[in-house]
Amino acid sequence: MIEEEPPSSNQGQFAARNGTSSSLDLESVVQPLVLNPWDVVLCISGTIISCENAVVVLLIFHSPAFRAPTFLLIGSLATADLLAGLGLILHFAFVYFIPSEVVRLLTLGLLVTSFTASISSLLTVTIDRYLSLYNALTYYSKRTVTRTYIMLVLTWGGSICLGLLPIMGWNCLKEPSSCSIVKPLMKNHLVILSVSFFMIFAVMLQLYVQICKIICRHAHQIALQRHFLATSHYDTTRKGIATLALILGTFASCWLPFAIYCLLGDSSYPALYTYATLLPATYNSMINPVIYAFRNQEIQKVLCALCCGCFSSTSPFRSHSPSDV
């Protein structure tokens, strides 16, 4: 994903002294394998990401209780993050053990597809949360299920198209001057991905502002109906806003540095800058299961039952409020 300079070789001089061909020289000269510590860290992160999200995917898709639209979107997010983790592992394996331009493009396409699907899935989860509060009375209807499947098709369809671009020829292998900070992605391709991120982030920010307003309004109405004290109303509102701020703040702190550097950076810049901004972005896929899955009470119950060996796929769990997920 990030191009490294090949190690220097005395291959020509060795062949001239010994009168052997270059192919024989390649077989006789064994160069030590030098691992980039950044790639090792990315591989470790990919392993953790894969394990976490594999648990979520198995829980959601194994149990019929998790067929509600909310859990389908959570499952889509976990699947995207799982593929991102696997992509990081495969990138490390192919770069150091099976060097090939074709395989490199396939791995890069997988990473672009998975990370794009992860960010887009976060948007769909946010839309689902907003609609569950704005249209609470009509949320559990066939229209919600249809809308969920449409969002899933758009999310994965668009992500796959963006991931196929490098494989279909939109790469800088033949034009090094057009490379971005993530080789062999072209600069224009990375700009499209970065602009798409900022658009998604702006929509999520606006939706969470609206969610905060709805939470404050609902908390105020409940406080008036039940004659709560003003402090109780304030505590409830503050807790809801703090949760939403944590969700949006985590997403922004993970992805904003890399997205900004994609727009401002150049292929001539040191690879260290790319690694330093890309690594926090991968942490978002590591944190997503904790925020969107493991905090949910229904998932916690099924996970505890599974760990205790009394898992039942027909447990009558149901999420009554997608905004709680």
98 found inside a domain: yes
Q: Kindly report the CATH number assigned to the domain that includes residue 120.
A: 1.20.1070.10
11 found inside a domain: no
pLDDT at 266: 86
312 found inside a domain: no
The segments of the chain whose pLDDT lies below 50 read: 5-30, 311-320, 323, 325
pLDDT at 19: 45
pLDDT at 236: 58
pLDDT at 9: 45
pLDDT at 231: 54
Query: Which is nearest to 207 in space by CA: 137, 285, 122?
Result: 122
Instruction: Tell me the C-alpha distance between 204 and 122, whole Å.
Output: 8
Instruction: Tell me the C-alpha distance between 53 and 263, whole Å.
Output: 30
Alpha-carbon distances, residue 313 vs 53, 65, 157, 306, 320 (angstroms): 19, 7, 30, 10, 19
Instruction: Tell me the C-alpha distance between 17 and 21, whole Å.
Output: 11
Instruction: Tell me the C-alpha distance between 135 and 146, whole Å.
Output: 15
Give residue-wise pLDDT tens across range 228-258: 555 555 565 677 777 788 888 999 999 999 9
Give residue-wise pLDDT tens across range 18-42: 444 433 333 334 455 678 899 999 9
How many other C-beta atoms lie within 10 A of the C-beta of residue 106?
17
10 found inside a domain: no
62 found inside a domain: yes
pLDDT at 323: 47
The whole-angstrom distance between residue 106's C-alpha and the CA centroid of its chain comes to: 18
Q: What is the extent of the structural domain holding 136? A: 34-172+182-303
313 found inside a domain: no
pLDDT at 27: 36
20 found inside a domain: no
Instruction: Tell me the C-alpha distance between 310 and 235, whole Å.
Output: 37
Count: domains in the chain: 1
Radius of gyration of the chain (CA): 24
Q: Which residues contact 207 (CB under 8 A, 6 or more apart)?
A: 126, 127, 129, 130
Alpha-carbon distances, residue 8 vs 22, 93, 104, 191, 257 (angstroms): 15, 22, 22, 33, 33
pTM for this entry: 0.82
The whole-angstrom distance between residue 269's C-alpha and the CA centroid of its chain comes to: 25
pLDDT at 10: 45
25 found inside a domain: no
Residue carrying the six token digits 């790469």: 171
Phi, psi of 201 (to 5 degrees): -65, -40
